[in-house]
Structure formats: C-alpha cells, structure tokens
Structure 1
Amino acid sequence: MDTGSDLIWFPCTTRYLCKNCSFSSSNTPLFIPKQSSSSKIIGCRNPKCSWIHPNAQCKDCNPSNNCTQICPPYIIFYESGATSGISLSETLNFPNRTIPNFFVGCSVFSSRTPAGIAGFGRGQASLPSQLNLNKFAYCLLSRKFDDSTRSSPLILDNSSGSDSEKKPFIKNPVIPGRSAFSVYYYVGLRKITVGERRVRIPYRYLRLDDEGNGGTIIDSGTTFTVMASEVREPLAAEFESQLVKKMNFSRALGVEVLTGLSPCFNVSSGTTRLKFPKLKLHFKGGAEMAVPQENYAAVVG
C-alpha cells in the first residue's frame, strides 16, 4: 500500500520477470488475463489511458476508423525500483460490492519491487479514487514488529456522514510542470520538539508555498523519514546537545566515518535500555505524534 503513488499493479502473465527482488517470482501468484472473462486491455482512446499517459499519442487512430491501438505500455519508477506492463480493465470484487471496469496494471517486468503495489495516492488511478472513498485509515505498525506476524486493519469508508474528528489534508497547488506533486497527501507540520525543547527550524521549510515548494507529505511506501538539510541538521544538533551535555554521551566519530550515519554516540556497554529524549511532531490543529524510540534511535554493536 503506497500513498505516494497511484497505479495498482500486480505480477501478470506467465512470462513475468522480476530482477533483484526479495521474493521468488516463480513462487509468486500470477494473474493470467486470458483466464478472466472480465479482463480487457485498455485502448489508446479510453479516457482511463490518460490517467497514466496524459499526452498519449494514438498514432494509428483517426476520426474515420475504429481505433484498435492499445494504451501505451507504462513504466513506473519508485525510490529504488521500477515496474512496467500494460493497462487492463477488470472487475474488482469485495464481499458486498462489485466494481466493474476497474483500472489496474498488468506488470510483465519489475526491478527491486515488492510483489505488487496498491496505489493510495490522490490521482485518478488510485484505489481510493476509483472506489470514490471519502476517507481511509491504515495504522502502520512500529518498526519493532518487523519480524512478527502482527498486522493492522485497513478501513475503507465511502459513507457520506460527517466526522467531527476528520482533519482535511493540505491541497498542493496545481503548478505547471509539477503535476506529480498532486499525488501526495500533505499535512500541516508546525514544529518538532526533542525532549521539552523546540527545534529551531525556520518555518518556511515546513510550510507549503504557492509554488509547491516545501511542506510535509505522508508516504507509506517510503521506509525512512526524509528531511531537507535545513530541517535535519538543527534536529540532529538538538539531539547532540541533549545527549552530550545532559546525558554525558560522546560522539562516536569513528562509527560515523565507517557507516556514513550521523550523529552516532558512545554509550555504556552495561546499558540494557537506553532512554533517549522524546521526539514529537506537532501538527496544525493540535495533533501530536510521539515517534517510538526504536524508529529514530538504533543500537549498534
């Protein structure tokens, strides 16, 4: 489930190939379009083709003939991988609902990807958009549960009732040449605190301006929180100040050179449970998120 992308795709056809993937493509369930009576290839003139190809060139079509040209193959790039294939129209079945003509990607080649992705972004091809959802909820488990079988529910809601606790996302302005930004969900991050101290971050790096610069997005498909250097550096400096001056830790510069990570600190070998200063994200409207320590501090060695 990826809130930072739109396309819903899965391994497709008996010739599916996945290079440098963490799973065996030979053991991955494959979708075979020929075995589905409701599966159809999206045509080049189909309005849904423009969801992934806004400027699709249907060279073999003209107003006087029936166009048989298919929607051009797609290639979608992710943070560390990519997938490519053809666009299909299928029937999506839920226990109490059926959605015909559902747009999906039939991937025939992938590199460094999971076994399929459900796009949950703002674009027309995403699952929430195609289901006309008013809201959805998914609780991402803490990193400490990576090796467990724990899971969490996904809630898809298309009811029209009001919700007093519902907070709207910030809408990214439509900027020519920056259409990709319209996929993302922006949230109003106002400040970051370490312990009881507010990190000195110029607010212009947190807010979203009229040209689409800055701001904070939620992306469930990205492993790490990524910050601009103007945000990360004062945050790291505040941790260093509190750990060195208040807790008497010293910087492990040798480890930083070897790993490329920073800041790193030397801690007592007899320490079984370290308690770092609490990291909190403060959002517009008063919401606060206390980040679990294991998600921002890792013990090495």
Structure 2
Amino acid sequence: MAFPSRLCLLLCLISSLFILPTFSFPYTLELSPIPINNNLLSPKDIIVELAKSALERAYYLKRQNKISSAPSYDLFPRYGGYTILLSFGTPSQTLPVIFDTGSSFIWVPCSFGFELFIFNPELSSTNFPVTCNNKKCAWLDEPGTMASCPDCLQSSPGSCTEPCSYSRAYGSDITSGNAIFENVNLPGKAPNEIFMGCSPLTTGDIPQGIIGFGKMPMSLPKQIRLNKFSYCLLVHKFDSTRQSTKLILGDSGVIKGIKYTPLLKNPSTIPANGYYYIKLYQINIGSKIVKIPNDIVVPNQNGNGGTIVDTRTAYTYMHPTVFDLIALAYQDQIPLDEKDRVSLLQTPGGTMLCINVTGIDFEKDLVVPKMAFLFKDGVKMDLPVANYALYDQDTLCLPFVTPTNQTGDGTGPAIILGSYQQANFRIEYDLKNKRLGLKKQICG
C-alpha cells in the first residue's frame, strides 16, 4: 500500500509544477528620468524650475491633510521624476506611469476609445469594478481623496452596489474615476490582481498615472507582497537624455558593501504612516559638522519632523533651521576674498544657496566642500560632487531648497531626501527587515 501512496504523492508534485506560476525573483523594469527640454530653458532657468518643482512637491507631502489651503501647482512636476512601463489587463496594455515612493495609491488614465498610453478597461477581460460595499473601497478615505460612496447601512441597499468612485486632489489639480480590480502583469511573473484607480477625468496637463510604492495597504509592494525593491537613479543633466536605469522588484541577493539604516516606526497620523522615514542626524560639509536638532531628527506622533525618502522630489527639501546651518557651514569655508560671491537665490516660494562663478575655472580654481549625510547605525552617504553642486556658466547652486514663507513649516516631514541626492547610489528598501540599504555605485 505504501507504493501507490508514494506514486500518488510523486504525481501530485509533478502536476503542481504545471499549475504554479512560473516566475523567479528578482525581476527588473526600466526606470527613465522625465526628460528636460533644454531647447526652451537655460541651465539657470532649469535650476529654478527644479527648485520650484521640489517646493511644490514638498508642500503636497507636508500638507495633504490641509489640501484646501494648498497653493496652485502642477499635478506632475515636469522635472525630477522617473517613469516605468507597466502592463495592465488581459490582453496587456502597456502604459508609462510615474514611480512614486512618496504615495501609495495606484491609478492610471482611462478612456473607452483607443488612445496611446491610455488604459481602456473595456478591452480587458480581467477588469472588475469595485463597489461601495467592498471593504477595500475604504482605502480611498484619506486626505486629498474624496470617495463618493454613501453609508450603505443608513441608505438604500441599492446604493451599496454603486461604483466606488473617487476624486483625488494634487494641489489645484484633480483626477477622478472609479476603483477597479485589474491584473498588473510583471516580467516573468504570473498576473496579480490589484486594487487601482481608473481615471477618465483629470484637470491640468494629461497625466501618465502614478504607481505608489509607499507603505499603505494599497501600494504596489503591499498588494503584490514584495519583500524588497531597489533602484539606482541616474545623475540628472541639463539635457533631454533618454538613458534609463533599473528598478529591481524582489530580492536580488546580498549586495556587497551595502550598509543599512533602520526604517523608523511611522507616526499613526495620515499621511505620515505611508512614508519611508530614516534617521538623518548629521550633515558634514568639508571640515564643518552640522548637528540636526533633536526635534527635527525624529517625527513626533503628529507626523511633524523627521526625514523621508521620495523619488518625486527633485532637490532635497530642508527645514529652514537645517538649511540655515548648512548655509553657514558652507560660507565659513569660502575664502574671504570670495565671500561676496555667495548669495541666496530666491525661487518661486523658496530659497537656494548659490555662488557667482563668473570668471572662475570650475574644474581648477573652485573648491567645493565635500558633503556627507550621516544616518543611524553609522551609515554614511558620501555625496558625489554632482549630487550637491549644480552650475551653469556663471552660477553654482546647492540643490537644497527651503521655503521663503516659514509659517507653519513645523507640519509634516522636516527633510525630504530628493532624487538629486539619491543619484549614483544603490538604494534598497528591505521591507521584510524594515531597513534601508545604501551603497555608492555608478548608475545607468
């Protein structure tokens, strides 16, 4: 009797090979910077535009729970972001979408006709509407989003089967649509059904959609149960380069030389509970040490303070107190006869530290103090010069911004680590072990 039982077990194991999904970790996606049109803007104009974009993004991340008081700004910053190509539905429809570690909602532009890079749910056999009585519809009840579902328990039963619709605000722009269940098709992996938004209506410029990689349940890593993801961003240039890098989903094994700093416990306040917080406690500038005040290092329970990592912020956003300390440390190391070259560049809504380099050979004569960020557990991020010195023919600027109007700046994250400072570093989000890995390397 033992032989038939063993034979049955063997046959079952063999048959299971044909029904299990045939995929292996890791798998990669192309990650491309949103190009800069250098035919329309000078390098100095681009510096100002990137500063404006970073400040607008910071305002959104810091004040989602006060969206009605937000100023007018673009739904999608024109510069500083990255896109990936993802396929949705059956058969697959491939769309460019913005990769975003600072949000968790997934949504794409939708149309019921044929339009390039627009998802048509009617052409997919795996599209399924989310109704108001589905528990996941409550994922849309967060700052900046208004779900239109009535309370099913107090209204007519028929209303519970209405579509789970939403209007999501990004400053002065809004995207509206219905939540759906649909397949996301990743390379080498069986399709995953995910909860996502399908937006036929968006004000402002035509968007590309967003893939949220944050920490909330609706994010892509949470929905497809990723333990890790990592990337290595390209150094930005003042051109329209189409070069791309890799976004790696899943465990790529041990990375030699990588150092880890813990991801901090998130405040319970929305939207702070969806961000990736790390402990940045010191910034070295040449021979000077900038100690970050304790009330800025770690977020409080209301989500105020702390440092978050964001792929859609161009220049690193600094709390005014930290920015002033950096400016002083930097200026202290400029020769006396060159100090009059240092100034604060006023950008729309904010300030940057810049140096007039007219008549100076940048490569030979101008010594830029080295910069490094120090994180918890001894992780040191030695920044390449390209990560903290932007220059054109007559101006050099540090890619750090602070708001001109400091009123209310105590709300939200105090420091937002932007994509310029992340460039040429392998950055690994080890979600299983709740830590962030950093290793300097050449990207692209």
The TM-score bracket by the shorter chain reads 0.7 to 0.9
Alignment partner of 1:5 out of 103, 112, 115: 103
- When the two chains are superposed, the root-mean-square deviation of aligned CA atoms in Å is 3.2
What is the total number of aligned residue pairs between the two structures?
284
| Cα deviation code 1:152-192 (max 9, x no counterpart) | 21111169x99996543112121xxx321001000111200
How much does 1:214 deviate? 1.0
Paired residues of 1:142 and 1:292 also in contact (CA < 8 A): no
Which residue pairs with 2:198 in the alignment?
A: 106
Is the 1:249–1:266 Cα contact (8 Å) retained in structure 2? no
CA apart distance, 1:42: 0.9
The normalised TM-score by structure 2 is: 0.57
For 1:40 and 1:2, how far apart are their aligned partners in 2?
Answer: 25
Q: What corresponds to 1:282 in structure 2?
A: 374
| TM score, norm. by length of structure 1 | 0.81
Provide the C-alpha distance between the structure 1 equivalents of 2:247 and 2:346, rounded to a whole number of angstroms: 41
Q: Distance in 2 between matches of 1:250 and 1:59?
A: 64
Residue in structure 1 matched with residue 272 of structure 2 by the alignment: 181
Unaligned runs of 5+ in 1: 16-25
1:151 to 241, 244, 248: 244
Which one-letter code corresponds to 1:289 in the other structure?
M
**Shift of residue 87, structure 1, vs aligned partner:** 0.9
Equivalent position SS for 1:143: coil
1:258 to 1:170, Cα distance in 2 relative to 1, 3 A: closer
How far apart, CA to CA, are the structure 2 residues paired with 1:257 and 1:77? 24
**Alignment partner of 1:31 out of 116, 119, 123:** 119
* Aligned 8 A contact 1:194 1:279 in 2: yes
Partner amino acid, structure 2, of 1:13: S
Q: How many percent of aligned residue pairs carry the same amino acid?
A: 36
Match of 1:170 among 250, 256, 264: 264
Larger RCO, structure (CA 8 Å, separation 6 or more): 2
Partner SS, residue 265 of structure 1: strand
In structure 2, C-alpha distance between the alignment counterparts of 1:187 and 1:147, rounded to whole Å: 32
Partner of 1:199: 290
What's the CA shift for 1:127? 0.5
1:28 Cα deviation after fit:
4.1
Which position in structure 1 is the counterpart of 2:323?
A: 232
Moved more, 56-65 or 100-109: 56-65
Mapped contact 1:4–1:220 kept (Cα < 8 A): yes
Contact 1:205–1:230 (CA under 8 A) maintained in structure 2: no
Distance 1:199 1:258, change over 3 A: closer
Match of 1:213 in 2: 304
Q: Which amino acid aligns with 1:291?
A: L
Change (3 A) 1:61 1:70: farther
Q: CA deviation at 1:201?
A: 3.3
Residue in 2 aligned with 1:248?
338
On the 8 A contact 2:166/2:177 being kept in 1, the answer is yes
Which residue among 34, 44, 50 is the counterpart of 2:138? 50
Give the deviation of 1:122 after TM superposition. Answer: 0.4
* CA displacement at 1:94 relative to structure 2: 2.4
SS at 1:294 equivalent: helix
Equivalent in the alignment of 1:125 = 218
SS of 2:137's partner is: helix
Displacement, 1:258? 8.7
> 8 Å contact 1:6–1:127 — kept in the other structure?
yes
Moved more, 98-107 or 59-68: 59-68
- Residue identity matched to 1:147: S
- Displacement of 1:234 in angstroms is 0.8
Aligned partners of 2:347 and 2:183: how far apart in 1? Answer: 52
Deviation larger for 40-49 or 62-71:
62-71
171 and 73 in structure 1: CA distance in 2 versus 1, 3 angstrom threshold: same
